[in-house]
Amino acid sequence: MRLPPQGSRPGKRPIRATGDDSAVMGRRRRSQRRTPLQAAADRRSGETAKRLGGMLKDARSSRRLTQQQASDRAGISRSAWSGLEVSGDGRITLETWNRAATAVASSFEAYLKRATAAREPRDAVHLRHQELVIRTAAPGGWRALPEAAIDRDARTTRAADVLLHRGGPTAEYVIVEVWDWFDDVGGALREFDRRLAALERYAIARMLGGQPLPRTTGCWVVRATRRNRGLVADHRHIFKARFPGSGSQWLAALARPTAPTPQQPALLWITVGGERLLPSRLG
């Protein structure tokens, strides 16, 4: 009598792996065979692919294209395009990346240079923008504190991008919020209100006896990408209502010690390369 294979049940065929299961098992075996050096290289490849995908998504959104429209231009499937934007798969071919970048009128080479800048930190662009704000405010007599904690409760308000302080008969405190791109505009506006309230408490806590109440206010500095400019233009009434201050007066107050700080918040643009601050015109 022939016995059934061990672990099987009489009258039942052995269960075989499906195609998907086989692929998963194959990836696991390859992963187990990798050396630590190879594993680190694969992780870096995935991180680079994710950064490339974020740039591709931003370029597509700035041109107001859907994934289907962009994938049609590139001659690839919509699922493949979605994979480029979100999956972080480092095995996608250069041909596919070049097609996708060309479809949104961008350059894959430029993406690659930005995504693989090994000597730069992840927030290199944000740091350059903070540096420009501090450099612009120095002639105006402002003392700058980047990433300053203005609230004891970190759960309520994160650190200010740049906190500016200027002494005088009436002390002045300013929060400068730097925005490279927006994920949730409404949330950002609500958070800005909380930070201004926290800044007022921060300033009052540092008053000396007999001093008048300090002046506290803030402004936004937004990177002037096509996506951001389009967003502000589409919702200019909302932005104008929240930022009624004069951008030109704000720039003057930052650069000149005798120019008073406007009490109304304003929105300033920062050039894409991070070279200059410009007043916005929301009218």
Domain boundaries, the chain: 20-115, 124-279
Q: SS3 for 33-97, per residue?
A: HCCHHHHHHHHHHHHHHHHHHHHHHHHHHHCCCCHHHHHHHHCCCHHHHHHHHHCCCCCCCHHHH
- The CATH architecture annotation of domain 124-279 reads 3-Layer(aba) Sandwich (3.40)
What pLDDT is recorded for position 10? 45
CATH number of 20-115: 1.10.260.40
Q: 125 — phi, psi (to 5°)? A: -65, -45
Instruction: Tell me the three state secondary structure of residue 160.
Output: strand
pLDDT < 50: residue spans in the chain: 1-20, 24, 118, 154
- 223's enclosing H/E stretch is strand 215-223
pLDDT in tens, 26-51: 555 655 666 767 766 677 777 777 77
What pLDDT is recorded for position 216? 95
Q: Where are the alpha helices (DSSP H) in 92-184?
A: 94-103, 108-115, 124-137
16 Cβ contact list (under 8 Å, min separation 6): none
242 Cβ contact list (under 8 Å, min separation 6): 189, 265
31 Cβ contact list (under 8 Å, min separation 6): 39
